Chain A
Amino acid sequence: MSSTTNPSTHHTSTIGAIGAPSRRNTELALLVFAVVIPVFAYANVGLAINDEVPTGLLGYGLGLGLLAGVGHLVVRKFAAYADPLLLPLATLLNGLGLVIIWRLDQSERLQQLAKSAYGVFTPSAPKQLMFAAAGLALFVAVLVFLKDHRVLQRYTYISMAAAIVLLLLPLVPGLGADTFGAKIWIRIPGAGTIQPGEFAKIIIGIFFSGYLMVKRDALALASRRFMGLYLPRGRDLGPIITIWAVSLLILVFENDLGTSLLFFGMFVIMLYVATERTSWIVIGLLMSAAGAVGVASFAGHVQARVNAWLDPWSCYQDSDACFQIGQSIMAFGSGGVMGTGLGQGNSDLIGFAANSDFIFSTVGEEMGLAGVMAFLLLYGLIIERGVRTALAARDPFGKLFAIGLSGAFALQVFVVAGGVMGLIPLTGMTMPWLAAGGSSVIANWALIGILIRISDTARRPAPTPAANPDAEMTQVVRP
Chain B
Amino acid sequence: MNKPLRRIAIFCGLLVLALLIRDNWIQYVQADSLQTREENRRVSIERYATPRGNIIVDGKAITGSVATEGTDFKYKRTWKNGEMWAPVTGYASQAVGATQLENLEDGILTGNDDRLFFRNTLDMMTGKKKEGGSVVTTLNAAAQKAAFDGLGDKKGAVAAIDPSTGAILALASTPSYDPSSFAGISSKDGETFTKLDKNKDKPMLNRALRETYPPGSTFKVVTAAAALENGKVDGIDERTDSPDPYQLPQSTTPLTNEHGDCENANLRYALMVSCNTVFAKLSDSVGNEGMIKQAEKFGFNNAELDTPVRAAESIYPEDNRPQNAMDGIGQASNRATPLQMAMVASAVANDGKLMKPYMVDQLRASNLDVIETHEPEELSQAVSGETAQKLQEMMETVVNDPQGTGGKAKISGVTVGGKTGTAQHGLNNSEKPYAWFISYAKTSDGGSPVAVAVVVEDGSANRDDISGGGLAGPIARDVMKAVIDSKK
Q: Is the CB of A346 within 8 A of B42?
A: yes
Q: Is the CB of B45 within 8 A of A346?
A: yes
Smallest Cβ distance from A358 to chain B, in angstroms? 14
A273 within 8 A of B: yes
Q: With A329-B34, A349-B41 in contact, is A423–B18 under 8 Å at CB?
A: yes
A313 within 8 A of B: yes
Smallest Cβ distance from A258 to chain B, in angstroms? 14
Give the complex CA separation of A55 and B455 in angstroms.
67
Give the complex CA separation of A337 and B37 in angstroms.
18
Name which of B22, B23, B39 has the most chain A CB atoms within 10 A of its CB.
B23
Smallest Cβ distance from B25 to chain A, in angstroms? 9
Give the complex CA separation of A335 and B26 in angstroms.
10
Q: With A333-B33, A407-B12, A410-B15 in contact, is A391–B72 under 8 Å at CB?
A: no
Q: Is the CB of B16 within 8 A of A407?
A: no
Residues on B with beta carbons closer than 8 Å to the beta carbon of A400: 1
Q: Is the CB of A1 within 8 A of B19?
A: no
Q: Give A313-363 interface residues, CB cut-off 8 Å to B.
A: 313, 316, 326, 329-330, 332-337, 346, 349
Give the complex CA separation of A28 and B30 in angstroms.
41
Residues on A with beta carbons closer than 8 Å to the beta carbon of B39: 313, 316, 326, 330
User: Which residue from A330, A387, A396 sits with its C-beta under 8 Å from B9?
Assistant: A387
A123 within 8 A of B: no
Q: Is the CB of A112 within 8 A of B71?
A: yes
Residues on A with beta carbons closer than 8 Å to the beta carbon of B4: 272-273, 276
Give the complex CA separation of A316 and B27 in angstroms.
20
Name which of B26, B28, B33 has the most chain A CB atoms within 10 A of its CB.
B26
Name which of B5, B6, B40 has the most chain A CB atoms within 10 A of its CB.
B5
B373 within 8 A of A: no
Chain B 64-90, CB-CB to A under 8 Å as 1, else 0, gives 000000011000000000000000000
User: Which residue from A333, A384, A414 sits with its C-beta under 8 Å from B26?
Assistant: A333
A61 within 8 A of B: no
Q: With A330-B40, A391-B2, A410-B16 in contact, is A373–B31 under 8 Å at CB?
A: no
Q: With A329-B34, A333-B30, A349-B41 in contact, is A276–B19 under 8 Å at CB?
A: no
B122 within 8 A of A: no
Interface residues on chain A, number (Cβ under 8 Å): 54
Give the complex CA separation of A247 and B409 in angstroms.
87
Q: With A332-B34, A349-B41 in contact, is A369–B23 under 8 Å at CB?
A: yes
Residues on B with beta carbons closer than 8 Å to the beta carbon of A470: none
Smallest Cβ distance from A92 to chain B, in angstroms? 17
Residues on B with beta carbons closer than 8 Å to the beta carbon of A273: 1, 4-5, 8
Q: Is the CB of A337 within 8 A of B27?
A: yes
Q: Is the CB of A369 within 8 A of B28?
A: yes
Give the complex CA separation of A112 and B72 in angstroms.
11
Residues on A with beta carbons closer than 8 Å to the beta carbon of B24: 369
Chain B residue nearest in CB terms to A333? B34
Q: Is the CB of B26 within 8 A of A418?
A: no
A417 within 8 A of B: yes
B195 within 8 A of A: no
Q: Is the CB of A414 within 8 A of B15?
A: yes
Residues on B with beta carbons closer than 8 Å to the beta carbon of A326: 39
B125 within 8 A of A: no
Q: Give A262-276 interface residues, CB cut-off 8 Å to B.
A: 269, 272-274, 276
Residues on A with beta carbons closer than 8 Å to the beta carbon of B41: 346, 349
Q: Is the CB of A417 within 8 A of B8?
A: no
Give the complex CA separation of A400 and B22 in angstroms.
30
Give the complex CA separation of A418 and B8 in angstroms.
19
Q: Is the CB of A403 within 8 A of B27?
A: no
A390 within 8 A of B: yes
User: Which residue from B20, B23, B42 sits with its C-beta under 8 Å from A332?
Assistant: B23
Q: Is the CB of A387 within 8 A of B15?
A: no
Give the complex CA separation of A391 and B6 in angstroms.
8
Give the complex CA separation of A414 and B13 in angstroms.
11
Q: Is the CB of A414 within 8 A of B18?
A: yes
Chain A residue nearest in CB terms to B6? A391
Smallest Cβ distance from A53 to chain B, in angstroms? 16
Smallest Cβ distance from A234 to chain B, in angstroms? 24
A82 within 8 A of B: no
Give the complex CA separation of A406 and B24 in angstroms.
25
Q: With A335-B27, A346-B42, A418-B19 in contact, is A406–B33 under 8 Å at CB?
A: no
User: Which residue from A1, A8, A333 sits with its C-beta under 8 Å from B27?
Assistant: A333
A379 within 8 A of B: yes
Residues on B with beta carbons closer than 8 Å to the beta carbon of A346: 41-42, 45
Q: With A376-B23, A403-B5 in contact, is A383–B30 under 8 Å at CB?
A: no
Give the complex CA separation of A360 and B272 in angstroms.
77
Give the complex CA separation of A24 and B8 in angstroms.
28
Chain A 408-432, CB-CB to B under 8 Å as 1, else 0, gives 0011011001100111000000000
Q: Is the CB of B5 within 8 A of A387?
A: yes
Residues on A with beta carbons closer than 8 Å to the beta carbon of B15: 410-411, 413-414
User: Which residue from A109, A112, A406 sits with its C-beta under 8 Å from B12?
Assistant: A406
Q: Is the CB of B40 within 8 A of A334?
A: yes
Q: Is the CB of A272 within 8 A of B8?
A: yes
Residues on B with beta carbons closer than 8 Å to the beta carbon of A63: none
Residues on A with beta carbons closer than 8 Å to the beta carbon of B45: 346
Give the complex CA separation of A112 and B23 in angstroms.
31
Q: Is the CB of B20 within 8 A of A373?
A: yes
B230 within 8 A of A: no
Give the complex CA separation of A326 and B41 in angstroms.
12
A464 within 8 A of B: no
Name which of B4, B22, B34, B37 has the most chain A CB atoms within 10 A of its CB.
B4
A232 within 8 A of B: no
Smallest Cβ distance from A294 to chain B, in angstroms? 24
Chain A residue nearest in CB terms to B40? A330
Residues on B with beta carbons closer than 8 Å to the beta carbon of A88: none
Query: Which residues does A use to contact B, with CB under 8 Å?
Result: 1-2, 6, 8, 108-109, 112, 269, 272-274, 276, 313, 316, 326, 329-330, 332-337, 346, 349, 364, 368-369, 372-373, 376-377, 379-380, 383-384, 387, 390-391, 396, 399-400, 403, 406-407, 410-411, 413-414, 417-418, 421-423
Q: Besides A373-B20, A421-B19, 10 other CB < 8 A contacts?
A: A273-B1, A274-B1, A326-B39, A332-B26, A333-B37, A335-B31, A369-B24, A369-B28, A380-B13, A387-B5
**What 9 A-B pairs have minimum CB-CB distances, sorted nearest first?**
A333-B34, A369-B27, A410-B12, A380-B16, A414-B15, A423-B22, A387-B9, A108-B71, A273-B4
A/B interface sample: 11 pairs, CB < 8 A: A274-B1, A329-B34, A330-B37, A332-B23, A333-B35, A333-B40, A364-B23, A383-B12, A384-B9, A422-B26, A423-B19
